[in-house]
Structure 1
Amino acid sequence: MEALKGNQTRINEFLLAAISPTWQSQATLFAIFLLVYAVTLVGNTLIILTVGSDPRLRTPMYFLLGNLSFLDLCYSTVTAPKMLMDFLATKRSISFDACMTQLFFLHFVGAAEMFLLTVMAYDRYVAICKPLHYPAIMNRQLCSWLVAASWTGGFIHSTVQTILTMRLPFCGPNHVDNFFCDVPPVIKLACTDTYVIELLMVSNSGLISTSSFIILVISYATILVRIRSPEGRRKALNVCASHLTVVTLFFGPCIFIYARPFSTFSVDKLVSLLYNIITPMLNPLIYTLRNKDVKSAMARLRSKETASEKKLPL
């Protein structure tokens, strides 16, 4: 432990919670989560390669989709590898610095994805409600600036969260009531009154997640209201359905965790697993299963690979 002011000492490691108490179930869960993480890596990487290699997908919508897949890759990688190691470990510990690093990147990538989903909703609004002006409005330069703004917003948000957390005194206990380091369970271990800090963090994370979700719902509702014909509304709903599914899976747990005071509920850890591990795996499945262009591009990519393999000399 490192010395703090007075007689207090700062802890140099945290102990993370176990998903299951028995070794047999831990081994089973390790296999399941390893499969989920592998599917996440393969699915999102495939979307990135498909969007990057197919000229027909070089549009703003698929440019944003490729960035979303990259964020999902990063988001899952922040927590999944450490969790997989902990399944096989007798002591699930993480150093103080590593915990703060994990916390920083968790909020960095998570907030960037929230902002990017909002940008994707705006892209669909312009494409459906202003189709004639779409090429002029959503040009490649604007898309690049919007993606950069999403990353910048995530960085600023995460920097604030991390600095507020690191400035707290931690002198014990050191048992984090979660499977990874996140703001709500970590600041509960601080050796001081955290009421004001909790309010600041809830107003930060909770405001971002709730306001972004409201903007997304309003934008998709506006799209459906603006379209008069039943056939056009059906097509718009089909286009937006995948986005709405992703938004619900991602924002629902985030609002539940961050848009309330940091009181503890028994389901908090399961909700955390949902949006950290499961949702990044489901995103590529949702987009590919509902998107004919992506499925066709993947088929062309496979045919190119098969053709190149046949040309290789024996």
Structure 2
Amino acid sequence: MQNIRSVCKICEAPVEDVLHVLFQCPHARATWFMSPLGLRTESLTEKPLLEVLLQLWKHLTNTQLAMFMSLGWHIWKARCSYIFQDKQCQPSSTLNDAISLIQQCHFKNGTWLNLGSDGKANSGEVRVQTDEGAQCCCWVDGSVGVTPASQQSGGAAYVLYKQGTLMRYELEYIAKPNSPFQTETQALLSAILAAQQLGVENCTFYSDCQLLIKTLEPTRNFRNIQAADWQAYQSLVRIAQLLLTHPGYCCQYISREENTQAHWLANRARTDRLSYVGFTMPMFSMG
């Protein structure tokens, strides 16, 4: 394989061939390892590129191969951006671009991509039950737990659908929340702000927190919220203002069993200390 350059401009390696650019450069290695494929490419240093590709071709599914090609393309684009535009891309940005591309391809066929923790991918129809007459539906949830250092941590999440198709989802890590109620209100506030930003005029927001739904009833007085939840109080005031200015928005209670996706995402935000916004079905399983 012919060398592209004598020296890698990113890591100053003495030889920059295709194998180095796609697999051996630290940026590429980090991107592959962070990806849903979880490849550790440091073991490929002594193998010819063709042998590497043939080995992967035999062991990856068609969906995983599509992800592999998208990652390789965006790793190459990141390298070119650094050399020709002096623009440095983080591995996480390269990964997100690759995931977005492959998911857009799947959504053109009306399917979503679901890659579980075992690394096996499945695709299926997007089917979400929505209320008749509701333009959009959104599920929200919050989560609170204790870290190994005995500190309280939290997560908030929402999943927004329009006529059964995913529009947007968000995970938000909350460090040291005052209470579980605070994470619930933060999840709902983030969801309403997202719907407003996307220009949604009619939306039903579902939560499995009865206290939150009851508190938002017009007859309730926000001053009754306990002083320990003062941060939740601030969010409630903003939520109430948004609901007043958007008559097409309403909040309803649902059971935990009906709120699996938002519940799973909120737990992931908390346990992984992860904050992330997505516009297509995530590559990981949502419960």
The bucket for the TM-score relative to the shorter chain is: under 0.3
Length-normalised TM-score, structure 1: 0.23
More strand by share: 2
Length-normalised TM-score, structure 2: 0.25
More helix by share: 1
